[in-house]
Structure 1
Amino acid sequence: MIKFYTTLIFTLFSCTVFAQNLNGPRIQAMANAGVAMQDIWTLKNNAAGITSIENTAFAIAYENRFSVKELSTKSAAVVIPLKKYSLGASFQSYGSPVYQELKSGLSLAKAFGENFSTALTLNYHQLSIQNYGNTSTFSFQVGFQYQVFKNFWVAAHAANPNKSQYTETESNTLPALYQIGASYTFTDKLLVTSEIEQVVDGKLDFKTGLEYKIAPFLALRGGTSVNTFQQFGGFGILYQKINLDFAISSHPILGYSPQIALGYAF
């Protein structure tokens, strides 16, 4: 049974590069096109987006990827606004005791006026494979967001441009990822976001999504990605300072991945 799960996890992992990165259900519901968005979960996507958070915020999330328990992901994020900077921290656990990845990140973001922000993130990765031991490595991310005019943002982000790899498994190099994108808020009810994502030595993908607030406390979301073609959907509920978000994605071969998150702003 252990051998079966090991084979299954390695097979799915090789088919879903960066799939275990949890962007939070709000961003996932919009096809993970979050590089130009402002949200606590942009800590995973482009930490420059956390500079818009005015109060300390905390969120936790869980994803049951492809409805396989052994591929579940648990994640937490916290953002603390300081005088001139915003500090963010995140933690993520992916997999099972047979094959497990842990990722911790520390982000420092700074806003230059109201139109430009940038951020640097340092990540610590740990890989554990049953009967094979543990290994670890570091990577970094850098990104920016720029408000071209009111309600229209453009952004760019690079993750692991130096192609860090695990010290004991040289063939398991962390992918290098580049993203550019934009978001536009048409009204106080409608947000549209899009991005182009390139994994080095991998595929080029285009993703787009939208969020529509049917009430001040309720938002509906949807999106699609081109390569691989996937569909996304979800909703968000805001009650006072509490956020409840849900998303689900559909892979044409591997099936559905539901995700839920709970957040609180102090």
Structure 2
Amino acid sequence: MKLLASLLLISIWTISFGQTNSFNLGGRSAGMAGASLTLGDEYSLFNNIGGLGRFENHAAFAAYQNRYGVTEFQVVGAGAVYASGIGNAGIGFYKFGDDLYSEQRLHLAFGNKIQMVSLGIGIDLLQYNISTVGTNRALAIQFGGIAEITSQLRFGAHIFNLNQAEISNETGEKAPTVMKAGMSYLPSDELIFNVEVEKDLEFDEVFRAGIEYQIVDKVFLRTGISTKPFMGAFGLGFHPKSLKFDYGFSNDSRLGSIHELSVSYNFKK
């Protein structure tokens, strides 16, 4: 019975998340359907380490994601960023699943900004555990960047698992290799338009678009869409002083709703 439950869970996971292995995190990203490639905030540690060098403060943050109301599909993540004159360093932890099946990620990264370009590199310890099979680990390298083409236009790119790390020596199975590219248009200080495309080597492209609008001081409204599966999203952000509270909601056309709540605290350098 336990083996059957494990196989069922893995099958559903493959259908649900096989095309979204980029480990996006944060209510801000969730509210824009994951279209966060060109944003330079503390959650760049997970969404595109190329934006890590654009962040100007120390920070600690945590996020919780409720997928479809299913306990076995919950996601938790946390991290910290230390900003210095020579660049920004970050450490993060991500976990999906439960005792039957889980994915865990310990992430170390470094990013720096040189004039109008921000670059970042990271190494990830990935752990995959199936209760009836065992645990496999792999080391994955990622690299990303954001270029400010003009004051209103940014371009970003990111690749996860650049080294195509193997999860299992016996089967030759590899961790997902995911590439992303996208652009942001900022017509004003209050408005951002994001578009991006994501390509897992094993799956079709996923397209995303998102909008963030600062409706009043410290309050943000967000929305977005993504494909394969089609998902519509919206979100809210409230950033009083050094605290940030962000909430994102999205609806998977096949399985149902996803809620994500994140909080962060920024420390001045």
Q: TM-score, normalised by structure 1?
A: 0.94
Match of 1:55 among 49, 54, 57: 57
Look up the match of 1:213.
Answer: 214
Asked whether 1:25 is paired with 2:27, we answer yes
Q: Secondary structure at the match of 1:40?
A: coil
Question: Is contact 2:103-2:128 (8 Å) kept?
Answer: yes
Look up the match of 1:178.
Answer: 179
Q: Secondary structure at the match of 2:37?
A: coil
Gaps of 5+ in 1: none
Question: Is contact 1:48-1:118 (8 Å) kept?
Answer: yes
Asked whether 1:43 is paired with 2:56, we answer no
Question: Is contact 2:55-2:83 (8 Å) kept?
Answer: yes
| Deviations, residues 207-235 of structure 1 (Å, cap 9, x unaligned) | 10000111112101000012321111111
Look up the match of 2:118.
Answer: 117
Q: Secondary structure at the match of 1:228?
A: coil
Look up the match of 2:202.
Answer: 201
Q: Secondary structure at the match of 1:28?
A: helix
Gaps of 5+ in 2: none
Question: Is contact 1:20-1:73 (8 Å) kept?
Answer: no
1:241–1:121 distance in 2 versus 1, CA, 3 Å: same
| Deviations, residues 220-263 of structure 1 (Å, cap 9, x unaligned) | 10000123211111111111111111111111111111010111
Look up the match of 2:188.
Answer: 187
Identity of aligned residues (%): 25
CA–CA distance in structure 2, aligned partners of residues 124 and 199 of structure 1? 19
Look up the match of 1:89.
Answer: 91
Q: TM-score, normalised by structure 2?
A: 0.93
Q: How does 1:1-266 map to 2 (within 5 A)?
A: 2-15=2-15, 16-17=17-18, 18-19=20-21, 21-113=23-115, 115-167=116-168, 170=171, 172-266=173-267
Aligned residues: 265
Question: Is contact 2:21-2:178 (8 Å) kept?
Answer: no
CA–CA distance in structure 2, aligned partners of residues 222 and 98 of structure 1? 34
Question: Is contact 1:22-1:73 (8 Å) kept?
Answer: no
CA–CA distance in structure 1, aligned partners of residues 213 and 4 of structure 2? 43
1:30–1:169 distance in 2 versus 1, CA, 3 Å: farther
CA–CA distance in structure 2, aligned partners of residues 53 and 167 of structure 1? 36
Question: Offset at 1:127?
Answer: 1.4
Question: Which one-letter code corresponds to 1:50 in the other structure?
Answer: L
Question: Is contact 1:86-1:110 (8 Å) kept?
Answer: yes
Q: Secondary structure at the match of 1:9?
A: helix
1:253–1:208 distance in 2 versus 1, CA, 3 Å: same
Q: Secondary structure at the match of 2:167?
A: coil
Question: Offset at 1:76?
Answer: 0.4
| Deviations, residues 99-140 of structure 1 (Å, cap 9, x unaligned) | 111101111111112x10111010001112113221111101
Question: Is contact 1:20-1:94 (8 Å) kept?
Answer: no
CA–CA distance in structure 1, aligned partners of residues 222 and 2 of structure 2? 38
| Deviations, residues 165-191 of structure 1 (Å, cap 9, x unaligned) | 213563642111111101122112111
